[in-house]
Amino acid sequence: MARQPPPPKDLDGFQLLLSTADTKRKLQIGTDLISYLGDPSNPIDCMDIGLFIDGLIPWMQSNNFKVRSFLSHKALDVNLSAK
């Protein structure tokens, strides 16, 4: 079984991974990104925020059922925890 690489240490690192077509990898990246953004000590600046958003939007609009379910579930978690 192949080991997963460690999660990126900044948003620029995540931006490089968002274009993957591998569903399992997309799910792992999503989990890692949500964990990263949930930690207030992590910086949210990057070299080009527009490029990051441009990569994030297609990733979030994935046609894959597993990715869509993951995103819907995480959005619900975030919404409920904000109340």
Write out 13-66 in H/E/C secondary structure.
Answer: HHHHHCCCCCHHHHHHHHHHHHHHHHCCCCCCCCCCHHHHHHHHHHHHCCCCHH
pLDDT tens for each residue of 10-62: 999 999 898 888 888 888 888 898 889 888 999 988 999 999 889 888 877 77
Residue 28: how many other CB atoms lie within 10 Å? 16
35-44 pLDDT, tens digit per residue, is 898 889 999 8
